[in-house]
Structure 1
Amino acid sequence: MSFLVVVGIFLISLTIGIVLYLVTARRYQSSDSVATSYDQWTEDGILEFYWGEHIHLGHYGSPPRRKDFLAAKADFVHEMVHWGGLDLLPASTTVLDVGCGIGGSSRILAQDYGFDVTGITISPQQVQRAQELSPADLSVRFLVDDAMNLSFPDASFDVVWSIEAGPHMPDKAVFAKELMRVLKPGGILVVADWNQRDDRQKPLNFWERPVMRQLLDQWSHPAFASIEEFAEHLEATGLVEGSVITADWTEPTLPSWLDSIWQGIARPRGLVKFGLSGLIKSLREVPTLLLMRLAFGTGLCRFGMFRAVRR
């Protein structure tokens, strides 16, 4: 087979792959489309196998250092607790974990800090898996609920906690209001989220717009807010005492993107466990992970931290 034929086959295969990637995008349509996506990711077990109990990025220090992928995720939870001042709160503090996934962060908050944790997610399959992974004697429960219309009364929790749930919310102002509404007076909100650069200050350029479009379409995201915008939404609720404290954790979380791809190489038994279909599903996520690394590495996206106290 000639070199030109090989190149031609490669280019045709690459083109077909790109077309399939774009055509099969999981665009946000409603909360149901988000629930369906997470149900599928939970049912096949691939995401849990490679990402563990924490479906969020890891914390690698500042400056970042080499660290075990799963350990970095657990470290993120402890760093967030410390940053938010939650380690100063007493045991039995009531916490709402909004967008709890399969409950990894909820279990750490209950096990290591003695908090009474309620985790909510839009995905029934995530609730079921979170319950399966949680010891019966741990003070944690999981419910199906919609963060855009929480079922809890006003002033229900001492702490509201959320990691990387915001991009799935179609109306960031409503999301901010719901988070603050269910906090008790004096309660603490701590949020970690993927954010877009504030395009009011610097509009997206010719290559950033299509990259951002893919980051939204591939993982059922209606929009990313900027750090500045979401802080403004929180303060606009009229429920914040003083001002919202923010921080940029892009640097300590940045290694997570390439590290997540490396897991597929470093842990090849996943190829046996999940077979050919699992391999295809895993490879399907690589372009989005690379685009995420590009976006966060160039400043198109930022990893935002938010802390607010309910007045």
Structure 2
Amino acid sequence: MTGEPAEQSAPVVRPAVWETYGPADLSAVPVFAGGFINFGYWQSVDLDRPLSQGDRVRSEQDLYRRVLDAAAPAGGRAVEIGCGLGLGCALALEEYGPTGVTGVDIHPQQLQRAREANGRLLAAQPDRLRFVLGAAESLPLGDAEFDCLYSVEAAQHFPDLAAFAREAARVLRPGGRVAVASFFTVDGAPAHAERLAGLLDSFASGLDIARPVARLTDALAAAGLVDVRTASIGPQVWPGWDRWLARLWEPGTWPRNFLAAWQQQVLDYYLVTATRP
């Protein structure tokens, strides 16, 4: 049954998320070259030579390609949760051939930036691209509206993974695909929250939430999704991310501890997929 959601008030944004993606505008920070906000998928980049800004942008685009390959949006309607500046939505439209893409973000300033960054595409293809305000746990979208749902490096901010999983199942059509890429704690890692708070300011501040990847996979299964799979893509993320950070951050500074957290088997980067039966 297809239906339209009830009218919703503006979602509540956690303070650390509000500041980081609003006034601080993380997309403008040099480490996130090109406006994408992700750590990158570096498999196609030669890490043994000096890295260029072009390499960095390619890594960010390639992370989207890795997720979109798993989501399979060709010929269907796609929705991105936590779309940021909407550059991943534009990449999906240009390279994967969906009938339409909806970008959802919880932060109104991010959506304004997304509309500005994609103004030409919105004007040229208004029926294929839109941006809407909403929380991952309460999506302002219709039942069974989409053929695939994907999210790139946003789930570490979602307060309630179970609610997100239920919403993903609700808005997907039968046979629809979910693909989520983000960093989670390694299942079974002892005292993971305390260890990450000691290593990384983003966890200490509450911007990122320390949870095992099983929290997401169990939530997707409980929401009725099937063929739930987890793949570690850390080897293609963390070494390249650290090499890029080395241009701007000295050893021993907190951003360099992402690699340390991975090497200590506390944190990893995962691609999680599932299907609505």
TM over 0.5: yes
Q: Structure 1 residues 107 and 154, CA, compared in 2 at 3 Å: closer, same or farther?
A: same
3-state secondary structure, aligned to 2:114: helix
3-state secondary structure, aligned to 2:140: coil
Query: Could you say which residue in structure 1 is the equivalent of 2:212?
Result: 226
Query: In the alignment, is the contact (CA less than 8 A) between 1:162 and 1:190 conserved in 2?
Result: yes
Higher helix share: 1
Using the alignment, how far apart are the partners of 2:193 and 2:219 within structure 1?
A: 28
3-state secondary structure, aligned to 1:40: coil
Q: Post-superposition shift, 1:154?
A: 1.8
Query: Could you say which residue in structure 2 is the equivalent of 1:79?
Result: 66
Cα deviation per residue 1:230-258 (whole Å; 9 max; x = unaligned)?
A: 11111011x213x3011000000113432
Using the alignment, how far apart are the partners of 1:123 and 1:48 within structure 2?
A: 21
Higher Cα radius of gyration: 1
Query: Could you say which residue in structure 2 is the equivalent of 1:141?
Result: 130
Query: In the alignment, is the contact (CA less than 8 A) between 1:51 and 1:70 conserved in 2?
Result: yes
Using the alignment, how far apart are the partners of 2:38 and 2:196 within structure 1?
A: 24
Query: Could you say which residue in structure 2 is the equivalent of 1:119?
Result: 103
3-state secondary structure, aligned to 1:149: coil
Q: Is the aligned partner of 1:193 residue 2:182? A: yes
Q: Is the aligned partner of 1:54 residue 2:36? A: yes
Of stretches 67-76 and 253-262 in structure 1, the one that deviates more from structure 2 is 253-262
Query: Could you say which residue in structure 1 is the equivalent of 2:150?
Result: 161
Of stretches 212-221 and 64-73 in structure 1, the one that deviates more from structure 2 is 212-221
Q: Is the aligned partner of 1:240 residue 2:225? A: yes
Q: Structure 1 residues 125 and 59, CA, compared in 2 at 3 Å: closer, same or farther?
A: same
Q: Structure 1 residues 298 and 38, CA, compared in 2 at 3 Å: closer, same or farther?
A: same
Q: Structure 1 residues 209 and 128, CA, compared in 2 at 3 Å: closer, same or farther?
A: closer
Of stretches 295-304 and 245-254 in structure 1, the one that deviates more from structure 2 is 295-304
Q: Is the aligned partner of 1:65 residue 2:64? A: no
3-state secondary structure, aligned to 2:35: coil
> Which residue identity lines up with residue 190 of structure 2 in the other structure?
P
Cα deviation per residue 1:1-43 (whole Å; 9 max; x = unaligned)?
A: xxxxxxxxxxxxxxxxxxxxxxxxxxxxx6242233201232x
Query: In the alignment, is the contact (CA less than 8 A) between 2:183 and 2:270 conserved in 1?
Result: yes
Number of aligned positions between the proteins: 252
- TM-score, with normalisation over the residues of structure 2? 0.81
Cα deviation per residue 1:160-188 (whole Å; 9 max; x = unaligned)?
A: 01011111112221122122221111100
Q: Structure 1 residues 206 and 233, CA, compared in 2 at 3 Å: closer, same or farther?
A: closer
Query: In the alignment, is the contact (CA less than 8 A) between 1:36 and 1:123 conserved in 2?
Result: no
Query: In the alignment, is the contact (CA less than 8 A) between 1:172 and 1:225 conserved in 2?
Result: no
Query: In the alignment, is the contact (CA less than 8 A) between 1:187 and 1:309 conserved in 2?
Result: yes
Query: Could you say which residue in structure 2 is the equivalent of 1:292?
Result: 258
Query: Could you say which residue in structure 2 is the equivalent of 1:9?
Result: none
> Which residue identity lines up with residue 29 of structure 2 in the other structure?
L
Using the alignment, how far apart are the partners of 1:147 and 1:194 within structure 2?
A: 17
Gaps of 5+ in 1: 1-29, 265-282
Q: Structure 1 residues 195 and 206, CA, compared in 2 at 3 Å: closer, same or farther?
A: closer
Identity score, percent: 25
Root-mean-square deviation (CA), in Å? 2.7
Cα deviation per residue 1:76-98 (whole Å; 9 max; x = unaligned)?
A: 2222222x161xx543x111100
Using the alignment, how far apart are the partners of 1:165 and 1:69 within structure 2?
A: 19
> Which residue identity lines up with residue 80 of structure 1 in the other structure?
V
3-state secondary structure, aligned to 1:162: strand
Query: Could you say which residue in structure 1 is the equivalent of 2:4?
Result: none
Q: Structure 1 residues 301 and 156, CA, compared in 2 at 3 Å: closer, same or farther?
A: same
Q: Structure 1 residues 263 and 46, CA, compared in 2 at 3 Å: closer, same or farther?
A: farther
Query: Could you say which residue in structure 2 is the equivalent of 1:97?
Result: 80
Q: Post-superposition shift, 1:192?
A: 0.4
